[in-house]
Structure 1
């Protein structure tokens, strides 16, 4: 498996410009760029500079992170037009840059119950279950993914649908995500697997269902662990590096390997404690611990 770095891990203490240099120096194979950090970068650098960097680097771009959808997105009567315009402008700008630099994946997240209006990082407050039934979730998700997939084709972009197991997410399990992916009928729609997101569904540490996913539909694999906290308290800020925590990452990786998948494994955390560190320390620790896990030394 190839080692990848997700920029959320040091997002509040670093920048894309710093992350590129540090990921290259530490030996990462791929970087997952955050869209908001990419836009910040593009305000000071043309995309050609980014293309030149990857053209002369071992480090390569992987998935763009992320497009956060909502239930009525692209609905002919109920869509929030201004929100759709903002989401599509962001999506298309990132797709265009990714096309220029050789990136071919975009993480897409199902609807999270969130009232912040933050298109870059909405959040499930985890205070109530998702209110819509499975039939509506299927209808909404398929509509959204088909529309995005058609837009993405011109950029040779693949959409990586990422289930989140918290109670206020529209799609909580890998099984449900795959049912939606299959229903789209789109060859450029696959799945993102994330152990913390899957663990949020009842603190489940049995990942055996992942072994049944066709490897060609696994577009991105994240890795992380978390603090020993009860559901309802456990949140994305409690993600941590992979050298300790409550999630059975060996079970997780073993079942993914059973599919034949041997692509990227990307460390992704949102831990405020890490944002108090230097990006040099964050990225070095992220690489060392992730490499040890993937190589079976943890």
Structure 2
């Protein structure tokens, strides 16, 4: 998956909206070169308007439907990644899933990042009732046990899944995804912890591959 087209929604001027679509055109061009069939789209943050959940949903649905017109001829899917921070416009699984349901296209689904799911207390009940076929990407990671919505609960608190201090219930994530029909096609690891950036690229890639393989073998 191409990660990512960032801050796609809630644009207030036509110029801003046009810039998002131009960015999408460029990413489609790159995806054709790379033979990549998935683009992750990330919601906007720090909105200047006090938009309601319903207003944000309506805007995202409209934008994603326009994006589908661009990606459909190339057989490329769009995966909406909710981001678990108070400043993000789409910050819980249930918000993202409702948007995807409203768009109602086989080309639009959700990116489930475990860190983001935990960070803003997305509802397990919502995930358990979801159609797993609408979850396109599963981002593995662990996290320190921080208060929900805390301003300091940032990407720096991510961990390799299962590392000492990791608070996530990995078995529950895997069991739930299997139960609802997630097919496991795109499973990636996303950590962003400053300590890990101290590793060389080769060390980081090797470690990430080892951790992902061990995690999948244990839970999937």
TM-score normalised per structure 2: 0.87
Look up the match of 1:259: 180
Counterpart pick for 1:269 among 160, 179, 191 = 191
Compute the displacement of 1:208 (Å): 4.7
Query: Highest CA radius of gyration, 1 or 2?
Result: 1
Whole-Å separation in 1 of the counterparts to 2:32 and 2:44: 26
Partner SS, residue 110 of structure 2: strand
1:179 is the counterpart of 2:98 = yes
Look up the match of 2:146: 229
Contact 1:211/1:257 (<8 A) preserved: no
1:112-261 matches, within 5 Å, as: 112-113=45-46, 131-202=50-121, 207-230=124-147, 231-244=150-163, 245-261=166-182
Whole-Å separation in 2 of the counterparts to 1:182 and 1:157: 18
Q: 1:215 to 1:228 in 2, by over 3 A?
A: closer
Q: 1:238 to 1:100 in 2, by over 3 A?
A: same
For structure 2, list consecutive stretches of 5 or more residues without a partner in the other structure. none
Look up the match of 2:13: 79
Question: What is the root-mean-square deviation of aligned Cα atoms in Å?
Answer: 2.2
**CA deviation vs aligned residue, 1:115-152 (integer Å, no higher than 9, x gap):** 9xxxxxxxxxxxxxx93212211211111111111111
Partner SS, residue 218 of structure 2: coil
Look up the match of 1:286: 208
Bigger relative contact order (CA 8 A; separation at least 6): 1
Q: 1:248 to 1:135 in 2, by over 3 A?
A: same
Aligned length: 214
Contact 1:225/1:240 (<8 A) preserved: yes
For structure 1, list consecutive stretches of 5 or more residues without a partner in the other structure. 1-62, 116-129
Whole-Å separation in 2 of the counterparts to 1:227 and 1:281: 23
Contact 2:10/2:60 (<8 A) preserved: no
